[in-house]
Amino acid sequence: MMKPKIWSPAIWLFVFLISVICHTPQAFPWGSNAHERMTDAACDSLPAEISSFFTKHRQELAYHANDPDRWRRELLFRIGLKYEKDLNSGQFTAELRQLFETHGIEFPQDASVSLRGKDGRWFITVDEQEYPIRKESDKLYLLGDKINLLENRSAAPVLLGSEEGTHVVLDTKEKLLSLTSLNVYKTGDPSEGPRHFLDIDLYGPYPFVELPHNYDDAVAKFGEGTVIKRGLATWRIANYTQLLSEAMKSGHAEKIVQTAGALAHYVEDIHMPLHVVKNYNGQLTNQHGVHQRFEDDMVDAYTEQIHLTPKMASEIEDPLETAFDIVLDSYVYADNLLHADRQAKLGEDSYGTPYLEKFFRFSGWIAVQRMSEAASATASYWYTAWLRAGKPELK
Ligand SMILES: [Zn+2]
């Protein structure tokens, strides 16, 4: 494990100056748009032979860069910092109620609804009728024919769901106290999830030589179930590089754009330090929700101060090995990120604005660095797929 570092004011001044110097006019919200932003930057990092095709399709590429998350689960809506006060104060305000209602989750004025835990199990109670909730790590599922997944990555289990005829209201008395945001999802393809990460530190000590990089060898050594559970991102990237080459050979523009967008997503994901470690949500160090606090909450709040500076694309000799190298690079940032979260929380009783302000000071540079690297790597994978396809003319 790396020793956490304390960052001196000089470093912060440096990071601040760099971000001022590198200021560009476009500012996208991170949150669900992080992938859009990195993919957009990748379009500007390509050699002349292919840059016109990618810049022409930059909007569609940015859209398709979010496809893999759509396959995994569909975000219905997010209750973000805007509602922090309501959530923390225990109020279910008219505005919150309306937010739910616009998404088809209704609340009758007279129903008494609450969420509560009992013997480690969770229930939604609607007019005294209990609906059990299934809990899997930090995700909660409301059991029913029509399952809605509501996930709260910012706090201990809190959730509400809705099915036909069921009405839900937030009961904030118990576990909502440190809640800053709540995502409401619909479930998708369950096999998609593991393709977005690789928890490399489950394979012994750095540099994790225990894990064979060849997929069949890894499966032979650890069993398929284990390999899948620990994450498949590197193999997915190699596979998608191949698929992109094939799409380019076929000359089918839409197919190229879709495949390139999905490839961008996987490449960008493994640049996020918490996509490559077992403590991916701070759950092992009592820092539940750090994943979202970093990639959504913090960068949402400070997006204007995060400017990407990707390098130009270059040919990748071995797409699989490069993906493993990226995982190792990302890994070394994870401890710093977790340390920054702990430091920022000191003296705060919630993960609200004062916390976020500190968290950004301590870890904003990690977002800038990893997102910039992700944009250049994405461009390099696209470029490599094109070289391997025999440099076809893209139009
Ligand atoms: Zn993802």
294 and 164 co-located in one domain: no
Sign of the CA dihedral running 171, 177, 178, 180:
positive
Residue 342 has pLDDT above 60, yes or no: yes
70 C-alpha to ligand 1 centroid (Å): 9
370 C-alpha to ligand 1 centroid (Å): 15
Residue 339 covered by a domain: yes
Each residue's pLDDT tens digit, 184-208:
555 567 788 899 999 999 999 999 9
Each residue's pLDDT tens digit, 208-253:
999 999 999 999 999 999 999 999 999 999 999 999 999 999 999 9
Percentage with pLDDT > 90 across the chain: 50
68 C-alpha to ligand 1 centroid (Å): 6
Q: What is the pLDDT of residue 128?
A: 57
Q: What is the pLDDT of residue 188?
A: 63
pLDDT: which is higher, 350 or 260: 260
The answer for residues whose C-beta is within 8 angstroms of residue 370's C-beta and 6 or more apart is 271, 272, 273, 330, 333
381 and 340 co-located in one domain: yes
69 C-alpha to ligand 1 centroid (Å): 5
Each residue's pLDDT tens digit, 155-185:
222 333 332 222 233 333 333 333 344 555 5
43 C-alpha to ligand 1 centroid (Å): 19
Residue 395 covered by a domain: no
Each residue's pLDDT tens digit, 304-328:
898 999 999 999 999 999 999 999 9
127 C-alpha to ligand 1 centroid (Å): 38
- Out of 144, 179, 214, a domain closes at 179
Return the minimum-mean-pLDDT range out of 60-74, 145-159, 227-241, 343-357. 145-159
235 C-alpha to ligand 1 centroid (Å): 14
User: What is the Cα–Cα distance from 69 to 377, expressed in whole angstroms?
Assistant: 19
277 C-alpha to ligand 1 centroid (Å): 14
209 and 319 co-located in one domain: yes
pLDDT: which is higher, 125 or 342: 342
191 C-alpha to ligand 1 centroid (Å): 13
152 C-alpha to ligand 1 centroid (Å): 17
189 C-alpha to ligand 1 centroid (Å): 13
Alpha helices per DSSP H over 30-141: 34-43, 48-56, 58-64, 67-72, 84-89, 94-102
Residue 97 covered by a domain: yes
Return the minimum-mean-pLDDT range out of 72-76, 120-124, 239-243, 373-377. 120-124
197 C-alpha to ligand 1 centroid (Å): 8
The DSSP H or E segment spanning 122 is strand 121-126
Residue 300 has pLDDT above 90, yes or no: no
192 C-alpha to ligand 1 centroid (Å): 9
163 and 308 co-located in one domain: no
pLDDT: which is higher, 146 or 50: 50
199 C-alpha to ligand 1 centroid (Å): 14
Give the best-scoring range by mean pLDDT among 2-6, 100-104, 110-114, 223-227.
223-227
176 C-alpha to ligand 1 centroid (Å): 26
Q: What is the pLDDT of residue 172?
A: 33
171 C-alpha to ligand 1 centroid (Å): 31
286 and 366 co-located in one domain: yes
307 and 206 co-located in one domain: yes
Residue 393 covered by a domain: no
Q: Which of 341, 362, 356, 361 is nearest to 284 (CA)?
A: 341
Residue 142 has pLDDT above 60, yes or no: no
Please report which confidence band the pLDDT of residue 148 belongs to, taking 50, 70 and 90 as the band edges: very low
- Out of 118, 149, 179, a domain closes at 179
Sign of the CA dihedral running 63, 64, 65, 68:
positive
264 C-alpha to ligand 1 centroid (Å): 10
135 and 220 co-located in one domain: no
Alpha helices per DSSP H over the chain: 9-21, 34-43, 48-56, 58-64, 67-72, 84-89, 94-102, 215-222, 224-230, 233-250, 253-269, 290-292, 299-302, 319-345, 353-388
218 C-alpha to ligand 1 centroid (Å): 22
Return the minimum-mean-pLDDT range out of 89-103, 134-148, 272-286. 134-148
Domain span holding position 294: 9-72+192-388
42 and 171 co-located in one domain: no
118 C-alpha to ligand 1 centroid (Å): 33
CB 146 within 8 A of CB 164: yes
CATH number of the domain where residue 271 is located: 1.10.575.10
Residue 346 has pLDDT above 70, yes or no: yes
39 C-alpha to ligand 1 centroid (Å): 13
63 C-alpha to ligand 1 centroid (Å): 13
Residue 32 covered by a domain: yes
351 and 216 co-located in one domain: yes
15 and 55 co-located in one domain: yes
92 C-alpha to ligand 1 centroid (Å): 31
- Out of 179, 202, 227, a domain closes at 179
252 and 103 co-located in one domain: no
Residue 320 covered by a domain: yes
Residue 3 covered by a domain: no
Q: What is the pLDDT of residue 157?
A: 29
291 C-alpha to ligand 1 centroid (Å): 12
Residue 186 covered by a domain: no
* φ, ψ of residue 71 in degrees (nearest 5): -65, -35
168 and 246 co-located in one domain: no
Q: What mean pLDDT comes out for the span 3-25? A: 36
For the chain, the domain total comes to: 2
Rounded to the nearest integer, the mean pLDDT of the chain is 75
318 C-alpha to ligand 1 centroid (Å): 22
